[in-house]
Chain A
Amino acid sequence: MTRVGHFAYFVTVFLMVAGLFIVIARGNLIKKLIGLGIFQTSVYLLYIAPGKLVGGTAPILSDAFTIYSNPLPHVLILTAIVVGVATLALGLALVARIREAYGSIEEDEILSIEAAPGRPEEQHQPQ
């Protein structure tokens, strides 16, 4: 089962690399956040894949089974998923405010507005 197992690791690395590429190569802020989410899910795979035991079952104790998959990565990843969505929510709120302040969510357009002398003030009063 060597080839099978390591295929899972290779796909995990591919997803990680793709997420990293989306974060650093794409300029749209919402797409960057989605790329970050893809990176996070690849890390979940990286934790859970080694915990699986072929022939085992989900870690819910019952008299019919003796081999259980490892429950410890499940606990850590459960926390990580919820923290990931909390980060996404805050990031999206920031993107909404950036859109209101600069009128665009493209990274290069925002940087050019920042670099231009006498940039427009915020539309709304500072909160």
Chain B
Amino acid sequence: MRHDLILRVLAKLMIPFILLFALYVQFHGDFGPGGGFQAGVILAAAVIFYGLIFGLADARKLVPEPLVESMMAAGVLLYGGVGVAGLLLGGNYLDYFVLDPNPVLGQHRGIFWVEVGVAVTVSGVMLKIFYMFADRGKVDQ
């Protein structure tokens, strides 16, 4: 599909906006609908879109496999790490009140990092599953 001019131009126009929208949904999840899951899926969709138009090899150069695999695990580690941070600072596991001298700001901080962890894991997993499905068919020929 990379030889089709219209598709290429449209993809180059739309992908930055899709990425920006993913970041918007992630960070604005506190004030409107949104949050980690939706943002992670939209981020993965942007990279899948790039892979569909410009070819899987180019998508792999843009987002290499080791990066995607580490993203899958890093999100869960980050989430668990926030919980352990609560333990180290004197509260219970996943206690956000102790993360900051002001308890409400501690809650904000905890929610922020937890949503980042969720988005990283979800986008990594969706992208990795797409790579696996696309890879399997190719070698079969």
The reply to whether A96 and B33 contact each other, CB–CB distance below 8 Å, is: no
A82 to B, closest residue via Cβ: B37
| Per-residue interface assignment for chain B, residues 3 to 19, with 1 indicating a CB less than 8 Å from any chain A CB and 0 otherwise | 00000000000000000
- A87 to B33 CA separation, bound complex (whole angstroms): 25
The reply to whether A89 and B37 contact each other, CB–CB distance below 8 Å, is: no
| Per-residue interface assignment for chain A, residues 71 to 89, with 1 indicating a CB less than 8 Å from any chain B CB and 0 otherwise | 0000000100010001001
| Per-residue interface assignment for chain A, residues 91 to 102, with 1 indicating a CB less than 8 Å from any chain B CB and 0 otherwise | 011001000100
Would you call B132 an interface residue if the criterion is a C-beta within 8 Å of the partner chain's C-beta atoms?
Answer: yes
Which A residues are CB-close (under 8 A) to B133?
A: 92-93, 96
The reply to whether A78 and B37 contact each other, CB–CB distance below 8 Å, is: yes
Which A residues are CB-close (under 8 A) to B136?
A: 96
Interface residues of A (CB under 8 A from B): 58, 60, 78, 82, 86, 89, 92-93, 96, 100
| Per-residue interface assignment for chain B, residues 116 to 133, with 1 indicating a CB less than 8 Å from any chain A CB and 0 otherwise | 000000100100010011
- A89 to B128 CA separation, bound complex (whole angstroms): 11
A-B contacts, 9 of them at CB < 8 A, read A58-B33, A60-B32, A78-B37, A82-B37, A86-B125, A89-B129, A93-B132, A93-B133, A96-B133
A74 to B, closest residue via Cβ: B33
- A48 to B32 CA separation, bound complex (whole angstroms): 19
Which B residues are CB-close (under 8 A) to A82?
A: 37, 122
- Beta-carbon contacts under 8 Å, B19-41 to A: 31-33, 37
Which B residues are CB-close (under 8 A) to A86?
A: 125
Knowing A82-B122, A96-B136 touch, does A60 contact B129 (C-beta < 8 A)?
no
The minimal Cβ–Cβ distance linking B25 to chain A, given in whole angstroms, is: 14
Option from B33, B37, B140 in Cβ contact (under 8 Å) with A60: B33
Inter-chain pairs besides A60-B31, A60-B33, A78-B37, 13 sampled, C-beta below 8 Å: A58-B33, A60-B32, A82-B37, A82-B122, A86-B125, A89-B129, A92-B133, A93-B129, A93-B132, A93-B133, A96-B133, A96-B136, A100-B140
